């Protein structure tokens, strides 16, 4: 199963910062066993949400020709738990020093202003067409950003 962990993209600057949200719902499959009677979003999935947000920004900036795959996590700190009903405000921004097909990012996830995750990670550029249909991804981006809607 593939988890789509960005529910909406609220701001996108080509080649720059991307903001979005993840709404944690009680019906999320990963909450069934994490943990019974005390459901929390796994920290690694918050990290994945930051990576996905960065990948959406890269895809849109490249006219949907590229996507990002995680290469290395430089630093990652988890602060508080994200629980059902929380809306995690996500933000990623590129760090200087892009190197060929590699990019570095700093990401933050917060709920109501309280930090949940802060991470720095490196990702590698991949041709989007090798991973998914670019037109399907473009259509999904339009839905996530509400582009073309009043």
Query: How far is it, in rounded angstroms, from Cα 51 to Cα 92?
Result: 8
The yes-or-no answer on residue 34 being catalytic is yes
From the list 8, 17, 34, 102, the catalytic residue is 34
CA distance 62 to 133: 14
- Which residue is associated with the tokens 């892009």? 98
CB-count exposure of residue 69 (10 Å: 0-12, 13-18, 19+): exposed
For residue 81, how far is the Cα from the chain centroid?
17
- Establish how many alpha carbons lie within 13 A of residue 44's alpha carbon, considering only the half-sphere containing its beta carbon: 4
The catalytic residue positions are 34
């Amino acid at each position: 199963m593939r988890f789509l962990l960005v529910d909406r993209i609220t701001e996108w600057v080509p080649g720059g910062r991307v903001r979005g949200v993840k709404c944690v719902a009680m019906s999320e499959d990963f909450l069934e066993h994490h943990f019974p009677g005390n459901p929390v979003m796994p920290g690694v999935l918050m990290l994945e949400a930051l990576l996905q947000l960065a990948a959406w920004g890269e895809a849109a900036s490249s006219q949907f020709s590229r996507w990002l795959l995680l290469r290395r996590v430089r630093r990652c700190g988890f602060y508080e738990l994200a629980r059902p009903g929380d809306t995690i405000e996500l933000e990623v921004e590129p760090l200087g020093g892009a190197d060929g097909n590699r990019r570095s990012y700093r990401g933050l996830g917060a709920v109501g202003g309280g930090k949940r995750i802060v991470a720095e990670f490196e990702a590698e550029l991949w041709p989007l067409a090798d991973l998914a249909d670019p037109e399907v991804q473009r259509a999904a981006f339009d839905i996530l950003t509400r582009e073309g809607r009043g």
